[in-house]
Structure formats: C-alpha cells, structure tokens
C-alpha cells in the first residue's frame, strides 16, 4: 500500500485504536431513487458506519448477489446515469465527513474516461474506488490517475488467489485490501467462513497493513467475529435489504445494530 496518505486507511487505523476495527457499509446509488439513496448513505454515517461503499449500478453485475442485483436493476430502470453517482457523492459528503469509496465495475470507468472519472470523483469529494473486476496488472491507467489525484484504490483478494496475486493486490491497493470471504457472489449468510481468516493471514504475510472482509456479514456478532482477525468488516446485502424493506429508518437501525459489533 503505497503513495499519498489515505483518508480511508486513517479512519480504519483510528477505529482500530478506539475499538476493534472499522465498519464499512455498502449501498447502491439510485436505489430506490437517487434522493433516498443519498439519505440512506447519510443514515449509515450517522449510525456508526466508518466508511461508505457506494455502488454504481451496472447492467452486468457479475459479482453481486440477488438482493443487490435487484436493487441496481431497479435503479437503472428508474433512469440512473453515471453522473448521478457523482451527484450522490457530492450530496452525501456535504452532510457527513465519512469517506466514500465508489464501488464500480471497470467498463463504466473506461467508457467515461479514466482521468475524467478520477477528476470528477475527486471534485465530488469521493475518497477512491473499489474495482472488483480490475486486477492491478491491467489497471495501469487507474494506478496513474489515482497517483495523480491521491484517490484510494481498493483491489480484491480471494481465497483462490496465488501468493503472487495477493502481493500484487497489497502493493497496488491504497485504503485497504478487500478480502472476499467466499468464492462466488455476494449475499448475507449465517456464518462467515474460515477461508476469510486464512486469507487475511496470507494478506498480512504479503505486507497488508489494512484488510477488510466482505461478503456474507449480516449481524453484529459476525462483525465482531470478523474484527477479531481483520481490520474492517464490510456489510452490503443486509443493508440493501433493510433499505428495501424498511426504508431509510430501517437502514439506520440496522447500521446502529451492526456498529455495536465494533465495540472492543
């Protein structure tokens, strides 16, 4: 993890000093509509979420589980456009200081223009990107743009990754490395499996100073379990479901409940 000081890594380090680690919360921009998605992200920040992961809806979400797919498809059918993502970041950061990482598949960034995307994200107040389908050795243009702008860049690591791939992810990432706890798509599960624990250990051996685990976390107990060995716990599908079922109030309630899992 190299380069400019990372807002995200600073927040995670602070949360490790104060408690057991950081809570990262994912919601898609534009679901169920743009204004509600902004209000919901603000509610995350106001209820104990330390880093916001804001998803950009995409027509071919190969890594997303059914809950997130349904939400992003609804956002797209309501007319969500890429520029709405920058609007959301701008309006959330105007209300809260919580850093926002935009989670996006790589094709929309390429279509928009990598440098233009980086500049517009920075101007909106965003902290960086999570790029699930981009590997570091195919990301030269993004590595250059993020060096120029100081934006964070979060790459994924999976249990199936070779040691060399893990080292590449660690070296290229800034903010944290995103450890995917199971193979396949996202979605809340009743237990977070042991593959995540060994993956985090392998990432530490590869030099990672900040690793967050995502995919399958839906309760405060699971947050606490993950923070027993990782630096951050990422919750997505459970928060999206809470927003779908119970609106902004429901998502704030769940965030507060999950946040209790970060207590030391």
Question: Which residues have a catalytic role annotated?
Answer: 53, 64
| DSSP, res 6 | P
Burial class of residue 2, CB neighbours in 10 A (0-12, 13-18, 19+):
exposed
Among the listed residues 259, 2, 6, the one whose alpha carbon sits nearest the alpha carbon of residue 129 = 6
**Would you call 130 helix, strand, or coil by DSSP?**
strand
Distances 226 to 38, 105, 216, 223, 243 between C-alpha atoms, Å? 28, 26, 11, 5, 23
Distances (CA, A) of 179 to 25, 41, 143, 170, 240: 15, 22, 20, 11, 20
Helix, strand, coil: what percent of the chain each, to 5? Answer: 50, 15, 35
CA distances from 165 to 14, 113, 171, 178 (A): 28, 26, 10, 13
For residue 64, the tally of other CB atoms under 10 A from its CB is: 27
Burial of 63 (C-beta count, 10 Å sphere; 0-12/13-18/19+)? middle
């Amino acid at each position: 993890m190299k380069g400019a000081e990372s807002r995200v890594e600073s927040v995670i380090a602070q949360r490790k000093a104060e408690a057991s680690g950081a809570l990262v919360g994912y919601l898609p921009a534009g679901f169920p509509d743009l204004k509600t998605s902004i209000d919901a992200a603000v509610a995350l920040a106001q209820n104990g979420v330390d880093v916001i992961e804001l998803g950009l809806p995409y027509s071919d979400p190969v890594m997303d589980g059914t809950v997130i797919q349904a939400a992003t498809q609804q956002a797209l059918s309501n007319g969500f456009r890429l520029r709405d993502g920058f609007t959301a970041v701008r309006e959330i950061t105007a209300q809260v200081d919580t850093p926002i990482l935009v989670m996006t598949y790589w094709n929309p960034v390429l279509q928009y223009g990598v440098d233009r995307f980086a500049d517009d994200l920075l101007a909106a107040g965003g902290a960086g990107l999570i790029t699930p389908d981009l590997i570091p050795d195919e990301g030269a243009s993004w590595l250059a743009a993020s060096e120029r702008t100081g934006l964070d860049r979060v790459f994924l690591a999976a249990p199936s990754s070779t040691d060399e791939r893990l080292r590449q992810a660690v070296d290229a990432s800034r903010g944290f490395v995103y450890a995917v706890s199971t193979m396949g798509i996202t979605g809340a599960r009743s237990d977070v499996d042991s593959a995540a624990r060994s993956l985090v250990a392998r990432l530490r051996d590869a030099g990672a100073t900040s690793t967050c685990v995502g995919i399958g976390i839906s309760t405060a107990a699971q947050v606490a379990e993950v923070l027993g060995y990782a630096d951050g716990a990422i919750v997505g599908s459970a928060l999206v479901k809470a927003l779908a079922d119970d609106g902004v109030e429901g998502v704030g309630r769940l965030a507060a409940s999950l946040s209790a899992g970060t207590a030391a």
